[in-house]
Amino acid sequence: MEFFSQTYVALRGPTGAPQTAADTIGRLSDRLSPATLLADRRAAVLALKGLARDCKQDVGDRALPGLIEVLENDAEVDADIGKAALETLNILCETDDSASGHGARDLGFKHTDAVLATEKATHVLFTLLGDNSFYIRFATLQYLSTLLQNRRQIVQAYFLKSQAGPRSVIAVLEDKREIIRNEGISMVQALISQSPDIQKVLAFEGAFEKLFATITQEHGVEGGVVVLEALTCVESLLRFNSSNHSYFRETQLPPLLCTLLQFPPAMPFNEIAPQEFALQFWDDNKTANAAAVVRIIGMLLSTKANPAQEVPAFTRCLLEIALASNMPTPIKTQALRLLPTNLNYPLLELTVTPYMPVPETNGEEWDRLEAASALDALVELALHGEYNGLDAAKRSKDGLELRTAAVCVFENFSRKEENKQAIIATMLPAEGQNPKEYPPPRPLVHALIAPPNELDMALVTSTQLAALLFSHLLRASSSRVKSFAISLTPPPFHIAPTPTAGAFFVPADGVAPPAPPAAPEIDDDDPPQTLLQILSENLTLVSLARKRTDNSEREAREWDRLFVAYLSLFSQWLWDDAIAVREFLNAGGLSVLVEAINQTNEADSIIPGLCAFLLGICYEYNRQPGEITRSTIYPIISRLGVETLTGRMTRVREDERFKAVVPDSIVLPYPTPSHHPGLKPEADGEGEIWFDWAFVDFWKSNYFTVQRGLGTDADQLAASSGNAESAMLVASLREVIQKQAQEIEALTSKLGAASTAKSGEVVALEQKLSSLTTQLQESEDKRKEQDKEQEDLLVLLDELSNKRSRDKQRMKEAGLDVSEDEADDDEEDE
Amino acid sequence: MSASWNYVFKFIITGDAAVGKSSILIRLTDQRFLANPDPTLGVEFGSKLIEIPEEGKVIKLQCWDTAGTESFRSITRSYYRGAAGCLLVYDVTSRRSFTNARTWLADVREHADPHLSCILVGNKTDLCDEPAPAGRPREVPTEEAELWAKEEGLLFVEASAKSGQNVELAFEQAARDILDKIRRGVFDDDRSPGVKLSKPVPNSLSLEHKRSTTCCS
C-alpha cells in the first residue's frame, strides 16, 4: 500500500503544483511502454491523441517511438488502440494543416522523417493494411497517404522491400467497403507515382482488373469521383511503363475502354456508330471521367512498338467522338489531339453522321445530318466549327481549339503524298468534263475564295482556317500537287443561303438546300479565274479595306487577320515555285506588297514584315520569263532599302502574336497582347488565331534565306543559301557522274577491243587446232596402214619360212645337198 | 480471341545477373536473339501461346523477366508469390551462377506458392560448342546440374537463347508439370494466383461478352 501511494505521489507530482503539459505528455509517453497494462496504454494513447494537435512538438518529441511500438505490438490485438495510435501519428505528421501555422508544417516534416528513419514503421503499416478491421485499415490508409505526401520516395523504397506490401494494397483495392476502397485508390495514386517498379508489381498482382472492377461497379463514366480516381490510377500505371503496356494489352480490358464510352469496340467498318454513343447527356462529372478514358485510349494509341489490335477501334472511337457526337468540346479537342501523328486511317472511306442540336430544345433533341466521309466532316469541322457552325461567330477559345485540332489532324493525314493527291483530286473537275460545268464547289475552296466584301467574323475565321488547311496541302509538296494547285479553277463564289452554314443539310428537314444558282454566263474570251488569281484579287481587296478610315479597332483587326492569312498562304505557296510566283506577279501582287511595306504604322509590325518576306520570296524564285522579272523588282527593293526590309522582317519575330505560338496551341486569348488599348473580348474566353505552328516553323527556317536573297543582284541567280548549296552539290555530283560516265565509256571500248582481239586469236587457234587434228588423223591412218602392211608381210614371211623349212626337209629326204644357211636364202629367193 | 486459350499461367524467370534471362524471354516471344541487352531494370513482360497437344490444351504464358542485380532482389520477391511457374536460369560457363542458383531457389521456396513448378535451365550451351576465343569452356557439367535438380525436385534442361535450342521446351515442360498438378487438384484452378482458367472477365460489361463470341482471330 505504501508503495502504491508513493508511486501515485511520484506520478502526480508535488500536491498543488500546477502540472505543465510537457510533464503530462512525458508521463503519458512513459506509460506507452509494453510493461504497462494494455488498458493503461490505450488510455495513454487516447490522451496523447487529445493533446497532439495543441502540443504537436512535445507529443512528437516524447511519444513517437512509443506510438510506433504500440502500432507494432498492440494494433493487431486491439483495434481501438491501433486506431488511436494511427490517428495520433497522423496528426503529428500532417503538413497540409491550414489551421496551424508555419511551425506546424515543419514539425510535420520533422516527425515524418523520424518515423521514416528506418523501414520498420512502414513495414508495420503495410502489414496493418492487410488487417480486415475497418478502423485499422482506414486509419492506416490515411496515415500512409500523409507519409506519402510528405516523403513519397522514401515510403516507395520501403514498400518495395516490404513482404506484405503489394498483397495488402490489392486487398484494399477490392475491399467491399466503399470508403476504404476509395481511400485506397487515392493512396495508390500517390504510391505508384513515378515508380515504374511499384507500377509493375501492382499490375502483376492484378491492380488493373481490380480498378476496372471498381469502375464498372460504379457505373462507368456516369460514376462519381471515385471512377475518376480509378481511371487516373490506370493511367499512371500505364504512363511511361512499356512493361505494363504490354501486359495491359494482353488482358481483356482494352476493349472495355471503348465500351465505357458506349462505343462498340468490334463495330464493322461500314456501320454507322450507334446513337446511344453519339448522343448522351453530359455533366461535369461525366465529362471528367470520359476525358480520362479518352486520355488512356490516346496513350495506348501512341505506343509505336507492338501496336495493339485495338488500334482501328480506338482510332475510330476518337474520330467519332470528335466528328459525330455531342460530347463536350474539350473532349472532342482532346480526342483529335490524341490521334497518332502518323495517322494511317482511311478517312476518305469512313462514313460518319454528324449531329446538330434542334434549336430551342436545350440540347435534348438532335437532328442527324447527312452522312459524309470522315475527311469531309473533319474539314467541315475546321472550317465552320461544331454543329455546322452554330456558334462560329462567337469565336470561343474552346471552339477555336477544336477547329485547330481538326486542322492538325488534316495536316497529319495529308502528310502522305498519296492522301494529298487524293484530296486535291476531289477539287478538280472530273476528267473529260466540260470545264465550264463546274464540279460542286468543295467546302475548302469555297471558304478560301469567299470574297472579302463585308466583315463577317465567322467568315473571316473560315477563310483563315481554309488558308491553313490549303497551305498544309501545298507545303513541301511534289511538283504534281503544285501543278494541280496552280491549275485549280474554282467556280465563281456564290453566297450560301446562310453565310455560316456548311455543306451539310438536315435530311429530317425534308428538302435539300436549293441547288446553287447556275453559274453566270461567262464571256468566251474571258477565261475563268484560277484560284491563285482569285486569291490575289482578294488580297488586293483586303489591303484596300483595311485602310478604310471608318473601321473600328475591332474591324481593323479583323481585316488585318484576313490579310495575314492570305500572306501566310502565299508565302508557303510561292516558296520554290517559279510558276506560282509568275502568276502572282502577273495578277498584280507586287503593288499590294510594296504599298503595305511602305505603310508606316507603328502599331502594326506584322503586316509590313510579312509583305517584305513575301516580296523576298517573289524576288528569289522569280525564274520564269514573264512581264515582271528580277530586274524589274530589283530597283524596287533598292528603293525600299534592303536594310529596311530586313528590319521589317525582324520585327515579326518580336511580335507577341508570333512569339506566343507553340506547336500544340495556336489559339491565343483575344486580344494578344492583352494590354491592347481599345480592344476588349466580346465574351469571356474569346480567342483568336494569327499563325499556325507550321508557318512559324517555316518562317524560322527560311527567314535567313529570304534575307540573303534580298541582298543579291538581279543578274545573280539562285542566291538562296539552301539552293546555292544544293546547286553546288548537284553541279559537283554531275561532274562526278560525267567523269564516271567517260571512264565507263573508255573502259567499255577497251574491253571491246580486248575482247575482239582475243576472239580473233581464239578463231586462229581453233583453226590451227582443227588442221592439226586432221593432220594427226591422217598420219594416224597412215601409220595404221603401214602397220597392217607390215603385219601382212610378216605373215607372208612366216609362211615362206615354213615352206622353206618344209622344202628343205623334202630336199633332205630327196638326198639333195642342203646348204645350212646360204641355201636358205637362195631358196627363199625362188 | 479471348476463347483461344484454356489457361493463363504466370511465369517468372530468375537467376543471377547476365545469365541471359531477358534473352530467353525474347527468344520465346519474338524468336530472335538480343546480342547486347541492357541489364534489365525491374521487370519486363512478355507473353506467348503454347500448345500442349497431348492434353489438347492451349496455354497462355505470361512471363515476367526479373532483374538479376542484387539491389533489385527485394522487388523480385514480390513476384514469386503470384507465379505458377519459375525458370531458374544459370550460365553453364559460369560456376558461380550455378552456385548462386541455390540462393535463388531458397528465395523462391521461401516466398512462392509451395506448388510452384520450377525448372532449372542451363543457358548459353552454344558458347561451349564454339572454339575459343568466341566460345568459353563449360564450367558446369550437365550431370552435376541434373543431379542437383533431381535432389531438389526441379525439372531440368540445358538451352541456348542464342540458337533457340530447348528454350520453348523449357517453358513447355514447366507448363506440362503445372497442367499435371491441376489435374491432380493441387492447383485449385482459379484460386491460385498464378493460374487462371480462361473465361471472360467477371466484371466486364455485356458488350464484352458479345465480343468474345463474334470476334475470333
Share of chain B above pLDDT 90, in %: 17
Cβ atoms of residues A266 and A255 within 8 Å: yes
Residue-wise pLDDT tens digits, A790-811: 999 999 999 999 998 888 888 8
**Pairwise CB contact (< 8 Å): A201 & B200:** no
N-terminal to C-terminal alpha carbon distance within chain B: 5
User: Alpha helix (H) ranges present in A261-328?
Assistant: 275-278, 284-302, 311-323
> Per mean pLDDT, which range of A473-477, A810-814, B16-20 is the poorest?
A473-477
In A558-670, which ranges are E strands? 667-669
Least Cα separation, residue B185 to chain A (angstroms): 23
Which pLDDT band, with edges at 50, 70 and 90, does A749 fall under?
very high
Q: Closest partner residue to A213 among B74, B203, B207, by Cβ?
A: B203
The closest alpha carbon to B119, from B6, B11, B4, belongs to B11
∠ CA A367-A368-A371 to the nearest 5 degrees? 155
Chain B residues in contact with A268 by the CB 8 A cut-off are none
pLDDT for res A778: 93
pLDDT for res A793: 93
Rounded-to-integer distance, Cα A175 and Cα A164, Å: 16
Tell me, yes or no, if A247 comes closer than 8 A to chain B by beta carbon: yes
Q: Is the bond preceding B202 in cis, omega lying within 30 degrees of 0?
A: no
Chain A residues in contact with B212 by the CB 8 A cut-off are 252
Tell me the mean pLDDT in the region B62-91: 80
Assess whether pLDDT exceeds 80 at residue A816: no
A vs B: CB pairs below 8 A: 87
Tell me the mean pLDDT in the region B187-196: 64
Rounded-to-integer distance, Cα A770 and Cα A459, Å: 96
**Pairwise CB contact (< 8 Å): A204 & B64:** yes
Nearest chain A alpha carbon to B110: A163
**Pairwise CB contact (< 8 Å): B211 & A266:** yes
Tell me the mean pLDDT in the region A346-350: 80
Which helix (H) or strand (E) covers residue A351, if one does? strand A351-352
Which pLDDT band, with edges at 50, 70 and 90, does A12 fall under?
low
Chain A residues in contact with B47 by the CB 8 A cut-off are 246-247, 250
| DSSP state letter for A665 | B
Tell me the mean pLDDT in the region A732-752: 90
N-terminal to C-terminal alpha carbon distance within chain A: 181
Q: Is A12 left (phi over 0), alpha (psi -120 to 50) or beta?
A: alpha
Q: How far is CA A154 from CA A112, A187, A195, A554, A566, in A?
A: 10, 15, 11, 57, 58
Chain A residues in contact with B43 by the CB 8 A cut-off are 197, 200-201, 204, 243
Q: Closest partner residue to B214 among A209, A250, A266, by Cβ?
A: A266
**Pairwise CB contact (< 8 Å): B10 & A204:** yes
Share of chain A above pLDDT 70, in %: 85
Assess whether pLDDT exceeds 50 at residue A770: yes
Share of chain A above pLDDT 90, in %: 8
Nearest chain B alpha carbon to A159: B75
CATH number for the segment(s) B7-206: 3.40.50.300
Tell me whether residue B206 is exposed, middle or buried, using C-beta atoms within 10 angstroms of its C-beta: 0 to 12, 13 to 18, 19 or more: exposed
Rounded-to-integer distance, Cα B79 and Cα B164, Å: 26
Chain A residues in contact with B209 by the CB 8 A cut-off are none
pLDDT for res B136: 79
**Pairwise CB contact (< 8 Å): A256 & B47:** no
Question: Grid coordinates 466549327 are at which residue?
Answer: A385
Chain A residues in contact with B74 by the CB 8 A cut-off are 160-161
The closest alpha carbon to A203, from B10, B110, B191, belongs to B10
| DSSP state letter for A680 | -
pLDDT for res B137: 82
pLDDT for res B212: 37
Least Cα separation, residue A338 to chain B (angstroms): 24
Residue A384's contacts (CB-CB under 8 Å, 6 or more residues apart) are A392, A447, A458, A462, A500, A501, A502
**Pairwise CB contact (< 8 Å): B204 & A256:** yes
pLDDT for res A743: 92
Residue B121, strand partner residues: B89, B157
Cβ atoms of residues A561 and A585 within 8 Å: no
Cβ atoms of residues A448 and A467 within 8 Å: yes
DSSP A74-99: TTTT-HHHHHHHHHHHHHHH----SS
Q: Is the bond preceding A673 in cis, omega lying within 30 degrees of 0?
A: yes
**Pairwise CB contact (< 8 Å): A243 & B204:** no
Q: Closest partner residue to A216 among B74, B205, B217, by Cβ?
A: B205
Residue-wise pLDDT tens digits, A135-145: 889 999 999 99
Residue-wise pLDDT tens digits, A82-97: 888 898 888 888 887 5
Residue-wise pLDDT tens digits, A651-696: 888 888 888 888 878 887 777 776 666 677 777 778 888 888 888 8
Tell me whether residue A338 is exposed, middle or buried, using C-beta atoms within 10 angstroms of its C-beta: 0 to 12, 13 to 18, 19 or more: buried
**Pairwise CB contact (< 8 Å): B208 & A259:** yes
In B, what residues contact A, Cβ < 8 A? 1-2, 10, 41-47, 60, 62, 64, 72, 74-75, 77-79, 81-82, 193, 200-205, 207-208, 210-212, 214-215, 217
Positive or negative, the CA dihedral A331, A334, A336, A342 is negative
Q: Closest partner residue to B43 among A167, A200, A209, by Cβ?
A: A200
pLDDT for res A362: 74
Rounded-to-integer distance, Cα A616 and Cα A636, Å: 11
**Pairwise CB contact (< 8 Å): A246 & B45:** yes
Tell me whether residue B54 is exposed, middle or buried, using C-beta atoms within 10 angstroms of its C-beta: 0 to 12, 13 to 18, 19 or more: exposed
More confident: A446 or A806: A806
Residue A136's contacts (CB-CB under 8 Å, 6 or more residues apart) are A75, A76, A79, A82, A83, A86, A128
Nearest chain B alpha carbon to A220: B205
Which helix (H) or strand (E) covers residue A534, if one does? helix A531-545
Residue-wise pLDDT tens digits, A276-285: 888 888 888 8
| Pick among A200, A242, A261 to test the B interface (most B CBs inside 10 A) | A200
pLDDT for res A744: 92
Residue B92's contacts (CB-CB under 8 Å, 6 or more residues apart) are B98, B122, B123, B124, B125, B127, B128, B138, B139, B140, B145, B158
pLDDT for res B130: 74
**Pairwise CB contact (< 8 Å): A243 & B82:** no
Tell me, yes or no, if A219 comes closer than 8 A to chain B by beta carbon: no
Burial B60-89 (b: 16+ CB within 10 A, else e): bbbbbbbbbeeebbbbbbbbbbbbbbbbbb
Tell me the mean pLDDT in the region A156-179: 86
More confident: A99 or A461: A461
pLDDT for res A242: 80
Nearest chain A alpha carbon to B61: A250
Cβ atoms of residues A187 and A148 within 8 Å: yes
Nearest chain B alpha carbon to A168: B78
Least Cα separation, residue A206 to chain B (angstroms): 9
Tell me the mean pLDDT in the region B187-207: 53
Whole-prediction pTM: 0.74
More confident: A522 or A532: A532
Q: How far is CA A786 from CA A774, A779, A795, in A?
A: 18, 10, 14
Least Cα separation, residue B50 to chain A (angstroms): 15
Tell me the mean pLDDT in the region A722-728: 61
Tell me whether residue A749 is exposed, middle or buried, using C-beta atoms within 10 angstroms of its C-beta: 0 to 12, 13 to 18, 19 or more: exposed
Residue A751's contacts (CB-CB under 8 Å, 6 or more residues apart) are none
Chain A residues in contact with B82 by the CB 8 A cut-off are 204-205
| Pick among A198, A208, A243 to test the B interface (most B CBs inside 10 A) | A243
pLDDT for res A717: 59
pLDDT for res A438: 46
Task: Please state the domain extents for chain B.
Answer: 7-206
Residue-wise pLDDT tens digits, B15-71: 888 888 888 888 888 777 776 666 655 557 888 888 888 778 888 888 888 766 666
Mean pLDDT estimate for chain A = 80
Which pLDDT band, with edges at 50, 70 and 90, does A499 fall under?
very low
The closest alpha carbon to A454, from A562, A610, A534, A537, belongs to A562
Assess whether pLDDT exceeds 80 at residue A296: yes
Residue B10 main-chain phi, psi, to 5 deg? -95, 130
Cβ atoms of residues A457 and A393 within 8 Å: yes
Chain B residues in contact with A201 by the CB 8 A cut-off are 43, 75, 78-79
